[in-house]
Amino acid sequence: MEYLLLVGGLVTLIVAGELLVRGAVGIALKFDISTLVIGMTVVAFGTSAPELLVSVKAALENHPEIAVGNVLGSNIANIALVLGLTTIVLPINVRKSTIRIDWPVMMLSTFAFFLFILDGEMQWWEGTLYVIALVVYNVMMIKNSKISIDEDAEKILDKEADEPVNFVKSIGFAIAGVVGLAFGANWLLDGAIHIATNFGVSEYVIGATIVAFGTSIPELVTSIVAAFKKETDISVGNLIGSNIFNLLAVLGITSIVKEIPISLQVQNEDIYWVLGVSFLIFPLMFFGKRISRLKGVILAMSYLAYIYFVIK
């Protein structure tokens, strides 16, 4: 039964996240909000809503290890697994803005998390700093016209812009998305807790592996399909941006709602994996301004190494 809850929760979260994005975009377009602002805020928030709901619910129900494991595991999966497998199929060129802006913000956000957890807890004021940093980052991105909207946002916005905005339909999508996210987060969390109990492993391990992998499935499938279609506009910046949002929004909001205790495993081991993988991507991007198949293999192998050390 717990496996049905886990899978059902994941599927519901993915579908509900899509409905929420489409509904929110439709509502925003109805009020003539610019597509750039929608892409940088509404779409970014909507696509990360599953991770946010799972983490907040886990923290509120006194399962903080799942919340932290979900974010850290997702960040490692985005860079090492998703980007690694994608570039093995199709090498990707790296935009200058990704190296100059996105990567430094991700690295600073990750290092800030390292500093925040030195006392064994992520407190509400640290989460507040994260949320403020997220707002500043989004404002900077919106003001910088050289930074384009990510591909997923462009596809959604192009489709919505070409069709008359049905306000009632958009509200219905948004409500269905919110309700679906609530149910999906509940099922996923219950399934993950039962699996952890049955196998005698820590909730952090389940959060960093099964839950994190599940919430990264949309990015993985989208990127792999695009690579097989030889769509060369796949963006490294998208995945790095997702990592930034996971840290600043998901951990930030979660710790504001309820302060998050940090386990010794995270303090002594896993934080260094996150820092290491986040740093590893820089030389792979910088030298040659292209992530080749060999670099993709290196990234994928680093993910396998991380999974091995987490579950050993």
Q: Is the dihedral of CA 103, 104, 107, 112 positive or negative?
A: negative
2-311 has which CATH code?
1.20.1420.30
Q: Which residues is 290 bridged to in the sheet?
A: 93
Question: Measuring CA to CA, which residue among 153, 106, 102 is closest to residue 130?
Answer: 106
Q: Per residue in 212-268, pLDDT tens? A: 877 777 677 767 776 777 765 556 777 888 889 889 999 999 999 999 999 888 999
Interhelix angle 64-76/49-60, rounded to 10 degrees, is 150
pLDDT of residue 203: 80
Residue 159: what pLDDT? 55
| Annotated domain spans of the chain | 2-311
> Can you give the pTM of this predicted structure?
0.79
pLDDT at 119 (0 to 100): 92
Query: For 64-76, how does the pLDDT look when each residue is reduced to its tens digit (9 = 90+)?
Result: 888 898 899 989 9
Rounded-to-integer distance, Cα 192 and Cα 4, Å: 11
- Specify whether the CB–CB gap between 84 and 300 falls below 8 A: yes
pLDDT of residue 126: 96
Rg (the chain; Cα; Å): 18
According to the model, what pLDDT value does residue 158 have? Answer: 55
* Residues in the chain with pLDDT values less than 70: 32-48, 142, 144-165, 218, 222, 226, 231-235
